[in-house]
Amino acid sequence: MSDKVKVTIDGITVEVAPGTSILNAARQIGGDIVPPAMCYYSKLEGSGGKCRTCIVKVSKGSEKDPRPMPKLVASCRTAVMDGMEVMNITSPEVIEARSGVVEMLLINHPLDCPVCDQAGECDLQNLGYEHGLQKTRYEFERRTFERIDIGDKIQLHMNRCILCYRCVFTADQITNKRVHGILNRGDHSEISTYIQTAVDNDFSGNVIDVCPVGALTDKTFRFKNRVWFTKPIDAHRDCPTCSGKVTLWYKGEDVLRVTGRKDIYGEVAEFICNTCRFDKKKTADWVIEHPTHISDTSVIASNHYETLKPLPVIQPNLKLQEANRIELEKTTKF
């Protein structure tokens, strides 16, 4: 018996190790057929199964038992079986159910995007754009909370939280001691620290990166600029506590924000420490590598060049400049 199992997702067959989830099998294929995920985070053990955006239809259970699964299943939590056939974007049922899930996620989510610092790199915004309706059918008051400071560097907007639990898993696994969690139950659940205890850990800033929405944001970047006006550049430094591999977000000459390097699924490759994230905001602190690759479909790609010094639009012509010196001075004189 081979140690690989065959699984077909939207007609594309792939061989994966047994025990792999459908979502990860789809990610091995890549492209459009990968189900979106709001709560699953490959770097966090135990994450997933909360948001239901990754639901897929299993039209054939396995080679031995070819019956389809009775309901749509969460692909991040369902392991593949040999000969399994999965439908994601080819099934209208899945698309419809997913837009229902998006509607549910948006029920309590405020229309804060013009104010929110996450806008432009927000998973929920992308998902809402693809699947959501333009209006809400919900007629009641949304849940509202006062915003909370978790320490002096992290801002928690509980209004925007979709309860994906990613930050809780991060605190559990990356940091030694968790000081924040989910209080209350069901509709009343909220992320909080008891009596707003400051999260005191070298890696606490990573909850900002794992948050798929704008619930946890960087206070040092708060309202500084819009994400799509800043230019991401990969850089590294010798850091004693973490790998030091980060993305710097430049506006002109200034580093406005430091984040971990995110892959195409919005997951950071390596968690970075708070010193790198919050305190090293000078170009001199970093070794610049190259501009971060940004997908063409992202709003951040506007005016983003993937070469460090883009070619000038007009070739400078010294002869011409000298001949028109007086006129040129007029234009800059005010």
Q: Which residues bind other proteins (CB under 8 A)?
A: 113-115, 119, 222-226, 228-229, 299, 302, 331, 333-334
Which residues, 6 or more positions from 104, have their beta carbon under 8 angstroms from its beta carbon? Answer: none
Q: One-letter amino acid identity for 275? A: T
What dihedral do alpha carbons 222, 228, 229, 232 form, nearest 10°?
90
Q: Which is nearer to other proteins, 136 or 241 (CB)?
A: 136
Of the two residues 75 and 118, which places its CB atom closer to other proteins in the complex? 118
**Closer by beta carbon to other proteins, 232 or else 260:** 232
**Residue 237 to residues 244, 246, 249, 283, Cα–Cα distance (Å):** 5, 9, 15, 11
Residue closer to other proteins, measured from CB, 77 or 224: 224
Pairing of strands 5-9, 55-60: unpaired
Burial of 161-181, coded b for 16+ CB within 10 Å and e otherwise, reads bbbbbbbbbbbbbbbeebbbb
Give the nearest distance from C-beta 108 to other proteins in angstroms: 18
For the bound state, the minimum distance from the C-beta of residue 113 to other proteins, rounded and expressed in Å, comes to 7
> Do residues 40 and 16 lie in contact, with contact meaning Cβ atoms separated by under 8 Å?
no
Q: What are the helix (H) ranges across the chain?
A: 22-29, 92-107, 123-131, 166-173, 206-210, 274, 318-323, 325-333
Tell me the two tokens of residue 35: 């189900």
The nearer residue to other proteins, 146 or 187, going by C-beta atoms, is 146
Which CA distances in Å does 326 have to 317, 320, 331, 334?
A: 15, 11, 9, 13
To other proteins, the closest distance from the beta carbon of 155 in angstroms equals 11
Measured from the CB of residue 220, what is the shortest distance to other proteins in angstroms?
A: 13
- Residue 247 CB, nearest distance to other proteins (Å)? 20
Residue 262 phi/psi, 5-degree rounding, is: -100, 145
Task: Closer to other proteins by CB, 134 or 184: give it.
Answer: 134
State the minimum distance, in angstroms, from the CB of residue 325 to other proteins.
17
| Residue 154, H or E segment | strand 154-156
CB of 304 to other proteins, least distance (A): 12
Nearest residue (CB) to other proteins, 228 versus 265: 228
